[in-house]
Amino acid sequence: MEGPEDVTDVVLRAMSHTPDPRLRAIMESLVRHLHAFLREVELTPEEFEAAVDFLVRLGQASGAAKNEVILASDLLGASTLVMMLDAKASGGASTDAALLGPFFRANAPAMPNGADIARDAGGGAPLVMRGRVHDPAGHPIAGAAVEVWQASPVGLYENQDPRQPKHNLRGRFETDAAGRFEFRSVKPAGYPVPVDGPCGELLRAQQRHPYRPAHIHYMIVKPGYKTLITQVFDNADDAIESDVVFGVTPALSGHFQPQAGGSYLLEYDFVMQPGESRVPRAPIP
């Protein structure tokens, strides 16, 4: 190897015997783009050290309360882009996908339709959420598992907040013969993503605000259908046009309708495509 112009080809030759064709293709493309990036910005050794330190600290800052690596991918738009590309590849009409986010956790408790996921309401306004799940032709999808999770009225998920009981504002429901499900909760609040770690440093360096508009997460799973991971946002939230993780699309803007007595009603239809059912790995336990 005589100079920097030779490095890329040498690395590609070293990886050329990778037996898994998909791994080989991904790594070859990664090396080509990474090396092109380094050449384009002429990264200095000091900047390279800072980048490596940033990646190390992402892992060190991750734990039971948050996943800083996932958060970084969210802030860079990578999580949203992966979800959108995956949804586009399936073709056809379906509800817009949205990122899983860093606060999904496995094993939410199964609950009957109409149950209240607010094990501690925390002073929030009561909310009734009514949903319907159907295929692109409008036929109801019965027996779909609908997992939901949301932040509290003060903008914290239960694993972030020791004052909330375990699995507060989380639950798993099953659609009935008409494809419908319903649960009670409290109106979620918008919130800032965690800014006490490396991701917060990045946002401050870029002079970006850390806020997400109020929303409820949904993961809908049914064998024979492509797993739907999405969010429904409060269209009255101030951050609806500038979500820090780029997750809002017009179709995911929901109307939290005020009701008598200070409560709210959210109604939303979810469309699933035929395909493979897959449950993602939870970012936190």
Q: Where are the domains of the chain?
A: 4-42, 68-271
Q: Which residue has the tokens 């008598």?
A: 260
Q: 10-residue block means of pLDDT along the chain (285 residues)?
A: 87 97 98 97 98 97 86 94 81 83 89 95 92 97 98 92 93 98 96 94 97 97 95 96 94 95 97 91 78
DSSP codes joined into one string, 49-103: HHHHHHHHHHHHT-SSS--HHHHHHHHTTHHHHHHHHHHHHH-S--PPP----TT
pLDDT tens across 60-73, in order? Answer: 999 877 889 999 99
What SS3 state is found at 283? Answer: coil
Q: How many CA atoms lie within 13 A of 240 on its CB side?
A: 15
Cβ count within 10 A of residue 207: 6
pLDDT at 123: 85
- Would you say domain 68-271 falls under CATH 2.60.130.10? yes
pLDDT at 86: 82
Cβ count within 10 A of residue 147: 21
pLDDT at 183: 98
DSSP codes joined into one string, 131-172: EEEE-TTS-B-TT-EEEEEE--TTS--GGG-TTSPTTTTEEE
